[in-house]
Amino acid sequence: MKIGIVAPGIWNSIHLDMAQALGELGHDVAVYTEDGRAPSGARFLRFREGRVDFFVIHHLRRNPWTWLFDRLAKPWLGRRFFTTLVAMARYFRATRDCDVYFVEGDWIGFFAAIVARFIRFRWVVCIHDSDYLRIPLSFAGRPASRWKEAVKLWVLKSADLVRANSYVTRDALIAGGCAPERIRVVPLHVTAWMRVDGIADMAAFKAESRAEVHEQWRIPADGRLLVTMCRLVPVKGLDLAVRGFAVAAKSNRHLYLMICGGDRVVPGIGSYQALLEGIAAEEGIAAQVIFTGNIDIREVKRYFAAADLQLAPSVIDTFNYGVIEAAMVETYTIVSDMVGAGPWVKEVGAAAIVPGRDPEAWGRAIETFIAVGVPPFAGGAITAQLEPRRIAGLLLELAQEVASGHR
C-alpha cells in the first residue's frame, strides 16, 4: 500500500517512528509536515528517506499569494490558515496515488476535511486528546469553545474512520457525540527515545539510579520513593496523588513523594505547585513531599528507575507515556481508570488500576504495595506489546478496511 501521513512538526513528534515503521514493512509513505528547513510557505521542500517521501513547507512563513487572507482571518483562524490550506491541497493533489491518509489531530484534520470536499481521498483522523469534547468531567483550565467543539465534531464526521489512541479516548469521543461504529482503537507505540536497549543490566541501573536520586534529594537510605512525572496542571489529578499519599504516609514516615514537572499558573488557581504544597501542609506530610521542577527528558528514565512506585492519578489522560516508560525500567504504577495506557500496562503486570477518585482507596493501594509488593515483571513485555512495527501492522489493518470502502 501507499500511506499518507499528515503530521505538522513530525520531527518533534511521535509520528516519524510510525512513518519509518510502515516503510520498513515494505509500504511507501508520503508525509506532509512543516519545518524550518523548507525554503518558504509556498514551495515544498521534497526529499526521500528510505521509503518515506517528505513534503515540507516552512513552519512560520506565509504563502505570499494568501498573505492578505491569512492576515484578515488571523483573529479567528490563526496566523496561517490559508497558507496551510493551500499547501495541503497541493499535497493531496500530488499524492493521489495514496490508498489512505492518516491525519494526526483534529485541527489539521479541519484542513483535510475542507480539501476532501474538492479532492476525493480516503482518510482516517487520529485523535489523541479530549479537548473541546462535551464530556462529563470538569477541572480547572479545561479548554472550552462552542465553535471548536462544532469543528471537531464536523471533522470526526467527515473522515472515513476515526482512530482513537486508547479506550479512554474512545469513550470521550462517544460522550462528545462521535458515532461509536466509526471509531477504532489503536494504541500509540514505544518511541525511539524511550527505548532502553542500551541498559545491559536493569537491576544494576535501578540500584545506581536509586542511590543517585536519594543522595541528590537527601532521601534516607531506607526511604521508599513514590514519583509522579508530568506537567503540574489540574487535569493530571496530582491533588489526589498528594491526598492518597497522605493516607499511607501518616503511618509510614519512611515514605516520600517526589512530584516531577514544571509548575503552571492556572486561571482561577494561580500556581498549581503552591496549591499542592498547601494540600501537603494541610495533611501534615509536607516534609515528605519533594518538588523537583522540570526533569530533563534524558533524566526521566533515571528517576523512574530510582522509584519504588509511580502514581498516575489523572482526571483524564488519553494515553500517558509516563506509565509506559516506568514499566520499561521495571517500576510499577498505580494508575487511575481514566489513563488511556493503563490497560496495556496492567496486562503485562506493571500496573494496578484504581477506579474513582477516593484518596482513601489510593492510600490503601499504596499501603498494599508497600506491604506486599508485586510479582516481578519484565520491562521488555510492554516494549514488545507496543513495538512500532506491531502498531504499524494494526494501522495497516485499519488502512485496508478504509481502502476497501468502509465509511
Pairing of strands 45-49, 52-57: antiparallel
For residue 215, pLDDT over 80 is answered with yes
Cβ pair 321, 341 in contact under 8 A:
yes
Amino acid 138: pLDDT: 79
Tens of pLDDT along 278-325?
999 999 999 999 999 999 988 999 999 999 999 999 999 999 999 999
- Give the position of cell 543517585: 212
Tens of pLDDT along 21-55?
999 999 999 999 999 989 999 999 999 999 999 99
Backbone angles phi, psi at 373, to 5 degrees: 75, -170
CA distances for 38 relative to 4, 5, 31, 55, 60, angstroms: 19, 18, 14, 9, 10
Topology, domain 2-189+387-403: Rossmann fold (3.40.50)
Tens of pLDDT along 228-287?
999 999 999 999 999 999 999 988 889 999 999 999 999 889 999 999 999 999 999 999
List own/partner pairs for 281-285 with CB under 8 A and 24 or more apart.
283/242, 283/243, 283/246, 283/250, 284/246, 284/250, 285/242, 285/245, 285/246, 285/249, 285/250, 285/257
Q: Considering the chain, what percentage of its residues have pLDDT values greater than 90?
A: 88
Cα separation, 8 vs 36, in Å, equals 11
Cβ pair 85, 111 in contact under 8 A:
yes
Ranges for all domains in the chain classified under CATH 3.40.50.2000: 2-189+387-403, 193-385
User: Residues near 83 by Cβ (< 8 Å), separated by ≥ 6?
Assistant: 41, 42, 57, 61, 62, 63, 66, 70
- Give the position of cell 490563526: 78
Tens of pLDDT along 83-112?
999 999 999 999 999 999 999 999 999 999
Amino acid 405: pLDDT: 78
Amino acid 140: pLDDT: 82
- Give the position of cell 498528594: 242
Amino acid 406: pLDDT: 54
CA 348 to chain centre: 20
Amino acid 375: pLDDT: 82
Tens of pLDDT along 116-139?
999 999 999 999 999 999 888 878
Cα separation, 307 vs 304, in Å, equals 5
- Positive or negative, the CA dihedral 394, 399, 402, 404 is negative
Average pLDDT, the chain: 94
16: buried, middle or exposed (CB in 10 Å: 19+, 13-18, 0-12)?
A: buried
Cα separation, 184 vs 403, in Å, equals 15
Backbone angles phi, psi at 316, to 5 degrees: -155, 135
**CATH number of this structure's domain 193-385:** 3.40.50.2000
Cα separation, 205 vs 305, in Å, equals 7
Amino acid 10: pLDDT: 93
Amino acid 224: pLDDT: 95
Out of 3-7, 10-14, 128-132, 189-193, give the one with best mean pLDDT: 3-7
Cβ pair 138, 231 in contact under 8 A:
no
Strand (E) or helix (H) holding 34: strand 28-34
Under DSSP, the state recorded for 343 is H
Global pTM exceeds 0.75: yes
Amino acid 12: pLDDT: 85
Pairing of strands 2-6, 100-104: parallel
Q: Considering the chain, what percentage of its residues have pLDDT values greater than 70?
A: 100
- Across 360-387, average pLDDT: 92
Cα separation, 80 vs 70, in Å, equals 5
Amino acid 192: pLDDT: 87
Tens of pLDDT along 170-182?
999 999 999 999 9
